[in-house]
Structure 1
């Protein structure tokens, strides 16, 4: 899987390495060859993610992660060649606050937010309870596979 990371605010190499492995596992879980997949990841401050959240979701507050999928339906994925799934925007400051609230390490929270966002790029959501249960199960499966459980 080719993940294009912004250099600004990027976490340490150990977190980046786990994100790369986790991303590949997410797309494999959906039957997609990770060798064909590209995702961009940008790390922004609270002000920028607040602005993006307001602009694209109409929510006037800071959030932890935003996902911008390229496809509305996985059936629309190209059969051959590169698949640009979309963009992930993570606010490390918000992740650090949440890690503290949830009793997680900051590294675990950042990796979890990335996994969560990749599943959004793959068409998953958590708007109703059934969708939420399915998405959470997939997230926890990936986190377990990379050894970063709760």
Structure 2
């Protein structure tokens, strides 16, 4: 398995160590989820204003949020099945993370910036892989999976 992470920090506030952490967490998620072949994910770090604009435009919610994922392999019932070219990477989609939310939530939950950045990265990855938390059962499964991945990586509270 080869994982390509297209990382873009529009805020220019994260360090190269933060970028490396995000890339390693994406790879750990792919490994734990037993993904095969070449995988590509785009991660963009934005400010509060930009994530609110994205949230409003794509989710009709005029408020900032911590993370938004756009899965490229997600299908509705009326769409045709996607056939992946085995010679091309499986482009999972885009994850947008609010840098200010990482900081605020790290302080709120009394853990490190790195732990929160890792958590939001895993959360976004799991959404790209089809996990959701609309029901209590889905939330329990997704949040349990997040903790399993973060623990496997060694990024605990």
Structure 1: 5+ residue stretches without partners: none
CA RMSD of aligned residues (A): 1.7
Superposed CA offset, 1:29-65 (max 9, x none): 33312x5011111111111100110111111111011
SS in 1 for 2:43: strand
Superposed CA offset, 1:8-37 (max 9, x none): 33522222222222212222333312x501
Match of 2:57 in 1: 55
* 1:31-110 paired onto structure 2 within 5 Å: 31-33=34-36, 36-72=38-74, 76=82, 78=84, 80=86, 81-110=88-117
Structure 2: 5+ residue stretches without partners: 76-80
* Number of aligned residues: 148
SS in 2 for 1:84: strand
Which aligned runs of 4 or more in structure 1 are off by greater than 4 angstroms?
none
What is the distance in 1 between the residues matched to 2:104 and 2:4?
29
Compute the displacement of 1:111 (Å): 1.2
What is the distance in 1 between the residues matched to 2:148 and 2:9?
28
Compute the displacement of 1:71 (Å): 1.1
Match of 1:18 in 2: 21
Which of the two has greater helix per residue?
Answer: 1
Q: Does 1:119 align with 2:121?
A: no
SS in 1 for 2:84: coil
Q: Rg bigger for which structure?
A: 2
SS in 2 for 1:37: strand
**Please, what TM-score do these two structures have when normalized by structure 2?**
0.86
